[in-house]
Amino acid sequence: MHGNYKVASQVFDIPSSSKQRKLAVLIGILISVVSLVALPFGMTALPAMEPFLSAAIGWLIFGDMLTAFIIYGQYRASGLPALLVLSCTYLFSGLMTFLHILTFPDLFGELGEKIGAGGQTAAWLWVFWHAGFSLGILLYAWVNRKWPKPFSSKEQIFNYGTAGVTLTLLAVFGVFELTALGDRWLPGILHQNDYQRLNTSGIGPALWILNLFALVAVWSRVKGWSMLHLWLAVAMLALLMDVTLTLFASMRFTLGWYVAKFNSVVASTVVICAVVNEVNRLFIRLSEQHRQLTESGLQLEHANEQLIRLTNLDGLTEIPNRRRFDEILAWEMVSPEERSTALSLLIIDIDCFKAYNDYYGHQGGDRVLKEIAWTIYAEAKKAQGFAARYGGEEFVVVLSGLDTQQTLEAAERLRKAVAGLAIEHTRSKAGKYVTISVGGYRLAPFDPMPAEDFIRRADRCLYRSKEEGRNRSVVEG
C-alpha cells in the first residue's frame, strides 16, 4: 500500500520547483498589491453587473467541484486521510457557492423563496461558505500531521470516502436549513445590500481571523513546500484578501466587492490550474519515458538477436556453427525410441585447403570458405536438411528420411555443386579446381547410438574418401 501511495499521489507530493515558487510569490504580491490599492476606494459604488456575478460564481463552482473531484481521485489511489478532508473541503465550498448564487437577491427571481431562502440567507451562506472552507483547511493540516499514513485496505478507503462525502452533504444541507431560518434564528447582518452589521457584530472580524489561521496553517506546513501546499497557500491568501475587501466595502457592487470576487476566482483557480499543469508535465514525462523504454526495448531486442546470431552462427561464413550443430544433433539423438525416420550425417572436408591458403593467401582462403559454405548450406536446405561449419575447412550436414543410397546421392550432389564452382586450385592433388571429400553414415530408425559414435563413424568414412584419392563420397550404414 505504501508503494502504491508513492506512485499514485506523486502529483501532490513532489516538491515545488524554483520557477513555481517564483510564480507563486509574484501572484501573491499581485493579489496583495491590487487588494491593498483597492482598499481605500473599496466603498466606491459601481454599477450592478449581474452577468459578472453569474460568471464569477459559475467559475467558482466549476473550479471547486473539479478540484474536489481530482483530489478525491488521488485519495482513492493513495488512501491518504488528509486528501479526503481536502476533497470534502472543496466539495463543501462548491456546493455552498451554488446555494449562495441561487439565493442571491434578484438574480434568479423567486427561486430563492421557493427553496425556502429568506432575506438574510445569501449573506449567511457567504459567511458559512468562507468559514467552512477555512475550517476544512485547518482540519486538513491537522489530519495531515496526525494521520500521515494511508488507509490499509481498499474497503477502508471506500468506507471512509463514502462517510466523508455523506457528512459533507449533510453539513451543506444543515447549513442551508439554518440560514433559511435566518430571520428567526440568526442575527440580521444584511440591510438593503449593506452588511456593515457583519463587522459590528464581530462575526466579520472572527471570520477574517479564521481565514488568517488557515493561511498560517498551510504556510507552516511541516513537510515543506510541496506543489500542493504552495498553491494552496496562494489560494488562502486570495481568500483572505476576498474577506478583507468584502468586510471593508460593507456593500455589494462596490469596488471592494468586485475586487473581492476577483480574489475568490483566483482562490478557486490557482490550485486546479497548478494540478492540471503538473498532471500535464507528468504525462509528458511519462510519454518521454515510455518512448525511451520502447527504444530501449528495441535496442535490447536487437542486442538479443545479435547475441543469438553470435552464439549460433559462424562468424566468417555466417552459417550455423559447431555449437548449433551439437544442439541439433543432441536433440535428434535424445530419444531414439521416438525417432521413426532414418538420420544421416555427412562430414565434408575441403581438399588440400592448407595448400590453397599457402598459395593464395588467407584472404583468398576465407573467400573460398564463404562460397563453399553457402553452396553446402543451399544444397542442404533443398533437401530439408541442416548444414553447419564444423571447424576449420570442415562442414557437416544432417539429413533425415534417407536410405544409404539416397544419402550417398545427397553427398554426391554436394560434391558436384562445389566442383561446379570451378574455383581454381593449382596446388591441389585432387584436381585443378577446389573440391571436397565427403564421408557419411546413415543411422536406421529407432537405432540407439551415442552422438559421439555417430560422428566417429561418419568421420571414418571421410577418412576413407581421402585415402581413396579425395574428391569423392563414401557413405555407410
Of 268, 256, 270, the residue nearest 129 (C-alpha): 268
Please state whether beta strands 473-476 and 436-443 pair in parallel, antiparallel, or not at all (unpaired).
Answer: parallel
Which residues 6+ apart lie within 8 Å of 238 measured at CB? 31, 263, 264, 266, 267, 270
Residue in the structure block whose three cell numbers are 496553517: 217
CA–CA dist 371, 367 (Å, integer): 6
Place of cell 528420411: 401
d(CA 416, CA 410): 10
Distance CA 186, CA 462 (A): 114
Of the CA atoms within 13 Å of residue 65, those in its CB half-sphere come to 11
> How far apart (Å, rounded) are the C-alpha atoms in residues 421 and 178?
105
Q: Do residues 333 and 450 lie in contact, with contact meaning Cβ atoms separated by under 8 Å?
A: yes
Residue 425 identity (one-letter amino acid): H
Distance of CA 152 to the CA centre of its chain: 24
Distance CA(290)–CA(274), nearest Å, equals 24
Q: Is 393 a catalytic residue?
A: yes
Give the cell for residue 160.
Answer: 471512509
Unique residue bearing C-alpha cell 561418419 = 458
Catalytic residue among 278, 332, 379, 393: 393
Catalytically annotated residues: 393
